[in-house]
Amino acid sequence: MRLKRLLEVALVAPALMTAAPAYADAVAGQGLTRYGRVSAIAKETVTIDQGCARDKPLVVPWSQIEFIKIDADCATHPVEPPVAGLVPCTGNKMAGFKVYLSGAPEPATAKAVWRSGDEINYEQFNGTVSSGAYSALKGIVRTTVCLAAVGDDDVHVEGFCDEPRQLAVNYAPSAVSDNTIFTRGFAIYVEHLTGDERAAAEGPNDEDIRESFGSALTLWTSALLRMKNAGRLPGDLTAYVNASVSRGGAYSLLTPPQVVRVRCRGNAMVVVRVGEQAARFQLAGGRAIALSQTEGRMLFLNTEQYRFKNGLHGPVSPGDIELVSVMTHELGHSFGLRDVGAVGAQSVMSAEFLNPFTNVVEPTDQDAEAFVAVLKQSIAGAAPGVFNSEMCSGLRDVRPVRARVFLQ
């Protein structure tokens, strides 16, 4: 009986082995090659889960690596480094990488390579950061790069998104307080859905959106300044406001969080979507001018049914919608504020208070208090571009029906 059991185990074991995940990437350097699955690529190190069982992670510094090869075949076979695009160099050299991607005839030349989630990213020598699907990665060789051979022009790989240098400088701003949605800088991505004819023809264009987003942040930051002047701001927020205000003589200048517009959606901290179908904006109590994810990083503008104008550039005619106030309201939701529904409420979070939606409306003292309270909560919020309709808030159009006919 016991022998039979042992035989059964012996028969089953080979089947279990072949059912193991088939990963045999290789990390090679200094006469040593490790096989398994490359699970992380950081700027300083590479992590490989050794063996097909993927249970022994090994962190290897890039300085000890000559090349890595991505290979779905689960076998410890000899590997040779890729050689395409490696040209001997007699002039000035710099440490760098060659990145081999499927679909690219030549390897990309990079000064840094790293993986983030399902994306592989590499920084070109001109500062452009390119990002695309990790599944496109075939291998990376650590090498010296001929500076004379590195052009100033962007090298584009099909299916990859190229983000110019200026954004690498402004990117990854830090949170101001416990609520990590309000940061010292914002990278926004304006997403246009197809069929967005009205916004394309009448605005708002991407720059209008960036500017209004920035103006709304200025209004919220000014609310913090007022709270500070009233002596009602907690320590970390006081330090932030002090660092944001520069004084000279009789003047003081408030520098609010800066807003940059990114080309690649994956680099955005907030996604603003325009050209959404009107059906999304149908609410129980009417229709919405805009929507946002509460405690989140996604806004929708109802450009199919409304025309938006930045009120800081001049009066907004009845029938149009003032965009800075809409952004102020929706960003309030992003930071975690809820709609204020009470009749006569003095709050930008009240649609009645913003009515008729043609003026720039600043956060009130009530809003400033609520804003400080929400910044002191530990809120991480939804990821950029994530929209969950159960946690969204709409800015309801509360104007008389005839005022809406203009845009029907």
Interface contacts to Zn ion, rule CB under 5 A: 339, 393, 395
The CB-of-337 to Zn ion minimum distance in angstroms stands at 8
The CB-of-392 to Zn ion minimum distance in angstroms stands at 9
| CB closer to Zn ion out of 52 and 337 | 337
Cβ atoms 288, 277 nearer than 8 A: no
Count of C-beta atoms within a 10 Å radius of residue 229? 10
| CB closer to Zn ion out of 240 and 308 | 308
Cβ atoms 109, 98 nearer than 8 A: yes
Cβ atoms 384, 297 nearer than 8 A: yes
| CB closer to Zn ion out of 179 and 393 | 393
- The residues, ordered by sequence, that sit 6+ positions from 336 with a Cβ below 8 Å of its Cβ are 179, 181, 294, 295, 374, 377, 379, 381
The CB-of-394 to Zn ion minimum distance in angstroms stands at 6
Query: What is the three-state SS of 128-149?
Result: CEEEEEHHHEEEEEEEEEEHHH
The CB-of-382 to Zn ion minimum distance in angstroms stands at 16
The CB-of-134 to Zn ion minimum distance in angstroms stands at 38
End-to-end CA distance of the chain: 82
| Residues 44, 364: Cα–Cα separation, whole Å | 48
| CB closer to Zn ion out of 109 and 294 | 294
Q: Which two tokens stand for residue 12?
A: 């089953």
| Residues 230, 74: Cα–Cα separation, whole Å | 66
The CB-of-329 to Zn ion minimum distance in angstroms stands at 6
The CB-of-328 to Zn ion minimum distance in angstroms stands at 11
- Residue showing tokens 């520098």: 255
- The residues, ordered by sequence, that sit 6+ positions from 77 with a Cβ below 8 Å of its Cβ are 24
| CB closer to Zn ion out of 128 and 358 | 358
The CB-of-369 to Zn ion minimum distance in angstroms stands at 18
Q: What is the DSSP letter of 355?
A: T
The CB-of-355 to Zn ion minimum distance in angstroms stands at 13
Residue nearest to Zn ion (CB): 393
Q: Which two tokens stand for residue 354?
A: 């913003």
Task: Report CA torsion sign: 100, 105, 111, 116.
Answer: negative
- Residues composing the chain: 408
Q: Which has the closest alpha carbon to 141: 122, 128, 154?
A: 122
| CB closer to Zn ion out of 140 and 299 | 299
| CB closer to Zn ion out of 3 and 342 | 342
| CB closer to Zn ion out of 299 and 395 | 395
